[in-house]
Copies of this chain bind each other. A is one copy, B any other.
Amino acid sequence: MTKLGVPLLSVTERDWRPRYIQLAEALRDQIDRGQLPPGSPLRSETDLADSYAMSRTSVRQAIKLLRDWGLVTSEQGRGTFVRKTRHRVRRENMLRYQREKDAVLLDEAERRAAGGTEQDTGLSTGDLEFHAEYQTVPADADLAARFQVPEGTQLLERRYWTTPRAEDAPLSMSRSYLLHEIAAKNPDLLDQSREPWPGGTQHQLSTVGIELDRIVDEVTARPPRPREAEILRVEHGVSVVVLWKTSTDLDGRVVEVAEVIFPGDRTTMVYDVKLNRWDK
């Protein structure tokens, strides 16, 4: 027991590992075991430093590790707390894309009602503050390859993001690209003030005579960039899910490419793969 009456975790000098790692793992055990339930505070840094006869710097290194592992968050002036597991949003992309396609045939009021408020980016305009920003950009090497067009081809870039007003809102931010040549056929498509567009991109494309045939999703993960951390309000030690979505029309032409960023701790992407029967 320490002078504080708290049993010491086994953070010994005989262990060959750095002491800050020993402390981090000891605390992680307590969290895993439920001795430190979600929402509960860790003992303060100075307190831990005293108890374990370590410098505060080393204690902070241990806590930094716990943050990187996504187990705790620190709040200045308050303390460090065990993270509550966030409510996850399930994004069923295969259903969603077909539903959006079907909705194009409905009239505007119906589109607005039945998921019409959904951007192709996965945002709903309920209690979210919606932002859209258009500009024309030349295709870089990556985008040119995805569109199968020469580098430098004019693209309409549309950036979308939302800021949550309510808690636990589903969030994402995205960049969507259209071939400028195609979008220009309908001047409304170049006008960002018409966003949010009921029915999303599939309806927008339908106004210039385009019907989608396939959408290819490519899913990856990486740590958030600073701007993404800010907009998505993800904390330190959380990953983002990156979705590259490539839409192809009936002629096999790539008509939209979008990159959508989701907070990894709040998003699950679902794909339902139906298999062919053997006896067929």
Interface residues of A (CB under 8 A from B): 25, 57, 68-70, 88, 90, 93-94, 97-98, 101, 104-105, 211-223, 225-226, 236-241, 264-265, 267-278
Chain B residues within 8 Å of A278, by CB: 101, 104-105, 211
Contact A269 B238 (CB under 8 A): no
A269/B68 contact (C-beta < 8 A), A101-B276, A239-B239 known: no
Min CB distance A265 to B, Å, is 7
Task: Name A224's closest neighbour in chain B (CB-CB).
Answer: B69
Chain B residues within 8 Å of A236, by CB: 68
Contact B70 A272 (CB under 8 A): no
9 A-B pairs whose Cβ atoms sit less than 8 Å apart in the complex: A57-B57, A68-B236, A94-B273, A98-B273, A215-B275, A221-B239, A221-B240, A222-B238, A239-B264
Partner of A239, one of B217, B223, B274: B223
Contact A273 B97 (CB under 8 A): yes
Chain B residues within 8 Å of A223, by CB: 68-70, 223, 237-239
Copies in the complex: 2
Chain B residues within 8 Å of A264, by CB: 220-222, 239
Pick the 7 closest A-B CB pairs, nearest first: A221-B221, A239-B239, A221-B264, A221-B239, A219-B269, A217-B271, A215-B273
Q: What separation, in Å, do the CA atoms of A212 and B226 have in the docked complex?
A: 43
Min CB distance A20 to B, Å, is 13
Contact A219 B219 (CB under 8 A): yes
Q: What separation, in Å, do the CA atoms of A215 and B221 have in the docked complex?
A: 22
Chain B residues within 8 Å of A267, by CB: 220
A213/B271 contact (C-beta < 8 A), A222-B70, A223-B238, A264-B222 known: no
Task: Name A61's closest neighbour in chain B (CB-CB).
Answer: B64
Q: What separation, in Å, do the CA atoms of A265 and B239 have in the docked complex?
A: 12
Chain B residues within 8 Å of A271, by CB: 93-94, 216-217, 219, 271
Partner of A225, one of B69, B105, B265, B272: B69
Contact B275 A219 (CB under 8 A): no
Min CB distance A172 to B, Å, is 13
Contact B214 A268 (CB under 8 A): no
Partner of A274, one of B104, B213, B270: B213
Min CB distance A100 to B, Å, is 9
Contact A218 B275 (CB under 8 A): no
Partner of A222, one of B101, B265, B276: B265
Task: Name A91's closest neighbour in chain B (CB-CB).
Answer: B219
